[in-house]
Structure 1
Amino acid sequence: MPYNEFLGDRIRAILIEKRVNFFEKNMFGGLCFMVDDKMCIGVVRDEVMARIGVDAYEDALKKPGCKEMNFTGRPMKGYVFLIDDATDMESDLAYWIQLALDFNPLARASKKRKK
């Protein structure tokens, strides 16, 4: 299933407005915005995926529209999915993007695969 391109456009616009250096990568059947060569925020189907780190994780799950990211049957701590309640308003989407950007310098980049 394709990802929600409108959500991708909204994220891209906020990153550009914040003057963030990023590139886009197709991942998980969706679109991921990479900052400093690390997965930061993205779109999977109709949901926003945000890498916010374990310190912000428990509090984030208490917010409307935020849920665990679960691809494999186990939640991935530090990553959340955001549904409409969390991203309808531009200010709400900008909040989650900033949370992901704040964590980004602390995140580890995945190891590069040898070709």
Structure 2
Amino acid sequence: MAFDEDNAKRIRTFLQHKGADFFEKKMFGGIVFMVDNKLCCGTRLDKKVGENLLLCRIDDSAYLKAIERDDVLPMPNAEKPMKNYVFIAEIGWTRNQDMEYWLQLCLDFNPLAKASKKK
């Protein structure tokens, strides 16, 4: 599990500032932040491209706009991209205001997101 601790700290600070009820979990090759027991966002170091990615779970309309951007990658799945999940390349969230934009989209969608099925 590879991720940049400074980036994880930036995400933690944002979530704490927003008063989000969250915990961390190692997942998807990095670290994710679960808000209200639902995956909200995360970060990982992508060894293929050699940079830190921000994982965002966002609503349908934000997803459709996001995947048109050059700094956004749909989250791959075996057959097709995972709905509502995108990776933001490092250039798209280096500045705090850019990171806050993406994380706010994640928090806005969280109440509408479905929780994972318990195993």
TM-score, structure 1 normalization: 0.90
Partner of 1:51: 57
Taking the aligned partners of 1:87 and 1:24, their CA distance within structure 2 comes to 20
Structure 1 unpaired stretches of 5+: none
User: How large is the RMSD of aligned CA atoms in angstroms?
Assistant: 1.4
Identity among equivalent positions (%) equals 44
Equivalent residue letter for 2:72: C
CA drift of 1:17 comes to 1.3
Tell me, what secondary structure is at the counterpart of 1:77?
coil
Taking the aligned partners of 1:74 and 1:38, their CA distance within structure 2 comes to 22
Partner of 2:49: none
TM-score, structure 2 normalization: 0.87
1:83 aligns with 2:89: yes
Compare 42-51 and 53-62 and name the one that shifted more.
53-62
Matches within 5 A, 1:90-105: 90-105=96-111
Taking the aligned partners of 2:80 and 2:6, their CA distance within structure 1 comes to 28
Partner of 1:17: 17
Structure 2 unpaired stretches of 5+: 46-51
Taking the aligned partners of 2:77 and 2:30, their CA distance within structure 1 comes to 13
CA drift of 1:41 comes to 0.2
Taking the aligned partners of 1:60 and 1:70, their CA distance within structure 2 comes to 15
C-alpha spacing 1:64/1:91, structure 2 compared with 1 (3 Å)? farther
Say how many residue pairs are matched: 113
